[in-house]
Amino acid sequence: MHVTRFNDHEFQDDELVCYCFNYTKSRIVNDYVGNGRSIILEKIVSAKNAGGCDCATKNPKKR
The three-point CA angle 30-36-40 to 5° equals 55
pLDDT digit string (tens) for 26-60? Answer: 999 999 999 999 999 899 889 889 988 787 788 77
In sequence order, what are the residues at sequence separation of 6 or more whose Cβ sits closer than 8 angstroms to the Cβ of residue 3? 10, 11, 12
Residue range 11-15: mean pLDDT, rounded: 83
Whole-number pLDDT of residue 37: 93
For residue range 14-30, list pLDDT tens digits in order.
Answer: 888 888 889 998 999 99
Beta strands 9-11 and 4-6, pairing class: antiparallel
Determine the residue type at 17.
Answer: V
Question: Do 22 and 53 form a contact (C-beta atoms < 8 A)?
Answer: no
Comparing 3 with 24, which gets the higher pLDDT? 24
Whole-model pTM? Answer: 0.68
DSSP state of 37: S
Q: What is the pLDDT of residue 46?
A: 92
